[in-house]
A and B are shown apart, each in its own frame.
Chain A
Amino acid sequence: MTAAVGMRRPATAGTSARWARTALRTLLIVVVCLVVVFPIYWMAVAAVQPTASTLRYPPSLVPTSFDLSGFRDVFANLPILRWLSNSAVLAVVTTVITVVLSVLGGYVLSALYWPGKALFGLLLLVTQMMPEAVVIIPVFQLYNDLHLVQSLIALAFLHAAFVLPVGVWILRSAMDGVPAEVREAALIDGCGHVSVLRRIVLPLTVPAVIAVGIVAFFASWGEYLFAVTMISDSDKYPASVGLATLIGQLDTPVQQLLAGGLVYALPPVVLFVLVQRHIVAGLTAGAVKG
């Protein structure tokens, strides 16, 4: 975690002042990292200790006794596997819809010229800014009328509607990086736009497509407001709703609750660690380029 700061120039006069500044900067960076990591560490500490050693004050900053039964109990006492698989269905469907539509949206905004494009961009921007709560009442009514409440697939469609704009921006920004000449050459060679997109633009923007997939997966995996409103059948609970029902209940031991939280957080974190190298640039590109 320690980030040592490398000197850029050979030491000259004023070395000790520069050394002091470097040390201070390193210290501050370590503090920031601790602030970021500590809450997660603290959750893990409570999850690997018996509840009896956790419930005392003052707490010990390192685990004093190890006991992994919390993880076992979570799987034994709670339908957490079912919740996780519901979440997986939800997140995968959301991801597929979002990626497919974002690719189309990114391409029409980046590569094509058509009257109405600005309005289309505006529609996406407004959608992106819209709080879910603004539409929750009419959407619930709509789903209720169409008998779509309790359906994970229908919920996934809703999730996708709210991540789609972000996906389109990320891909548009990535596709802007594909030189127009490359596309035009292919068009002159007789390719249609669809095959230009499929054979030329998409292969060049794979990291951004993965970034969109990750964003959609995370958004759906973590979403709570729509899920808790639409799904009241406990067999259909995604993990977010299932775990949230435990929060108010006093009979779930802290150890189990936090172990459940860790198990739930694990898939996105692992996914992120696996692809992080490739997507961080794609994620941030959209924010800084006009």
Chain B
Amino acid sequence: MSVTTAPPAPASEAPAPRRRGSRRRRVHWIAYALALPILAYESIFVLYPIVQGVQLSFTDAKLGAQQTTSVGLDNYDRLLSDPNFIKNVTTTLTYALGVVVVAVGCGLLTALLVNRKMRGRGLVRGLLMAPWAFPEIATVLIFIWVLNPTFGVVRLLTPWQDSGDGWLTSNPLAMFSIVLIATWKTFPFYSIVLLASLQNVPEQLQEAAKVDGATALQRFWHVTLPAIRPDLVLLALLAFIFAFRQFTLIWLTTGGGPGRDTETLVVAIYNTAFRFFDRSYGATLGVGSLIITLVVTLGFLAVQRRLDGRR
């Protein structure tokens, strides 16, 4: 669910041994019984559809058509020579990297600001969670109003702009706008996660660096950043995935437009399957997205494993 920015905690690769004795560990057979409902559940709703989707990509299925025939790799031939697909991929990367840099960057800056004993910190922290609790559709309603080309309050910030230039309907402003909207929705949560990470940085190190005459910037660069780097990298990968999955905020604000300028892969899948009724080609785009997802997930696991090794 794209709404859920909750922290995904890392999967444990090796079962963490509780006892370090040389005695062989007894297998808890009951685990299989307890894990079975989840396995069955995820198989029905996620794994089986993925397999079906891959199968569908080798056919010529259209929505509504009863008969489908196998067409081998035709859809993939089409995919690789489809200029729109290439554009979808670059659009997706632009958007996702934009969100990672801007939202995680703002999150980090905010966390650094708030990482200090002060009065009212609880209140600030609560306020920061507000956009997280705010549903996406409500966020969309807010921002199509804020960015309205005629009456939008955003025009106060850019008085030189003509009212004709729509924030959501002109290039490259539309891309900028959706990154902005996603940033508003997600950066506060990222700042809360990074705040928790910052609080694990040993204070003595900071003090020692201070005594040695390090400037604030040097202390950040040489003490704070190395300490939080693993969490920061994991969070960036997650932010990338969340952006990659984002449908609602884009679909309901720009609809992928102007033209196809903000049509990310997930928007393209939806358009292909449910507006142009081309199920099989939509499924092929889905396989493309699946591969990208798996690559990023592997990256996530690799970082995590290195992290576990260090602990």
Q: Binding site of B, secondary structure by majority: helix, strand, loop or mixed?
A: helix
Total chain B interface residues with beta-carbon distance under 8 A: 119
Residues of B within 8 A of A56 (CB): 151
Residues of A within 8 A of B139 (CB): 39
A222 smallest CB distance to B (angstroms) = 4
Q: Given the known A-B contacts A56-B151, A112-B31, are A157 and B113 also in contact in the complex, defined by CB atoms under 8 Å?
A: no
Partner of B127, one of A33, A164, A268, A288: A33
A269/B2 in contact, CB under 8 A: no
A224/B11 in contact, CB under 8 A: no
**Distance between Cα atoms of A280 and B133 in the complex (Å):** 12
**Distance between Cα atoms of A161 and B43 in the complex (Å):** 9
Residues of A within 8 A of B142 (CB): 39-40, 42-43, 258, 261
- Which residue on chain B has the smallest CB distance to residue A265? B138
**A283 in the interface, Cβ–Cβ < 8 Å?**
yes
Partner of A122, one of B11, B46, B116, B193: B11
A131/B151 in contact, CB under 8 A: no
**Distance between Cα atoms of A43 and B145 in the complex (Å):** 8
Tally of A-B Cβ pairs under 8 angstroms: 368
Q: Binding site of A, secondary structure by majority: helix, strand, loop or mixed?
A: helix
Total chain A interface residues with beta-carbon distance under 8 A: 121
B301/A59 in contact, CB under 8 A: no
Partner of A166, one of B8, B45, B47: B8
Which B240-277 residues have a C-beta within 8 angstroms of A? 241, 244-245, 247-248, 251-252, 265-266, 269-270, 273-274
Residues of B within 8 A of A115 (CB): 27
Q: Given the known A-B contacts A135-B46, A287-B231, are A268 and B296 also in contact in the complex, defined by CB atoms under 8 Å?
A: no
A104/B34 in contact, CB under 8 A: yes
**Distance between Cα atoms of A124 and B282 in the complex (Å):** 25
**Distance between Cα atoms of A122 and B53 in the complex (Å):** 20
Residues of A within 8 A of B241 (CB): 129
B50/A134 in contact, CB under 8 A: yes
Contact with A along B144-155 (1 / 0, CB 8 A): 111000110101
B297/A129 in contact, CB under 8 A: yes
B4/A218 in contact, CB under 8 A: yes
Q: Given the known A-B contacts A113-B15, A137-B282, A288-B197, are A261 and B120 also in contact in the complex, defined by CB atoms under 8 Å?
A: no
- Which residue on chain B has the smallest CB distance to residue A4? B119
**B41 in the interface, Cβ–Cβ < 8 Å?**
yes
**Distance between Cα atoms of A104 and B39 in the complex (Å):** 11
**Distance between Cα atoms of A276 and B300 in the complex (Å):** 29
**A234 in the interface, Cβ–Cβ < 8 Å?**
no
Residues of A within 8 A of B53 (CB): 134-135, 137-138
Residues of A within 8 A of B193 (CB): 284, 287-288
Residues of A within 8 A of B131 (CB): 36
Residues of A within 8 A of B4 (CB): 162-163, 166, 215, 218-219
**A72 in the interface, Cβ–Cβ < 8 Å?**
no
- Which residue on chain B has the smallest CB distance to residue A241? B137
**Distance between Cα atoms of A160 and B37 in the complex (Å):** 13
**Distance between Cα atoms of A284 and B153 in the complex (Å):** 34
Q: Which of B125, B133, B290 has the most CB of A within 10 A?
A: B133
**A207 in the interface, Cβ–Cβ < 8 Å?**
no
A290/B286 in contact, CB under 8 A: no
- A residues at B contact (CB < 8 Å): 1-6, 8, 25, 28-29, 32-33, 35-37, 39-40, 42-43, 46, 54-59, 61, 101, 104-105, 107-109, 112-118, 120-142, 157-166, 168-170, 172-173, 180, 192-194, 211, 215, 218-225, 229, 239-240, 243-244, 247, 254, 257-258, 260-262, 264-265, 268-269, 271-273, 276, 280, 283-290
- B residues at A contact (CB < 8 Å): 1-4, 6-15, 18-19, 25-32, 34-35, 37-39, 41-42, 44-50, 52-53, 56, 110, 113-114, 116-121, 123-131, 133-146, 150-151, 153, 155-156, 163, 184, 188, 192-193, 195-197, 200, 231, 234-235, 241, 244-245, 247-248, 251-252, 265-266, 269-270, 273-274, 279, 282-283, 286, 289-290, 293-294, 296-297, 300-301, 304, 307-308, 311
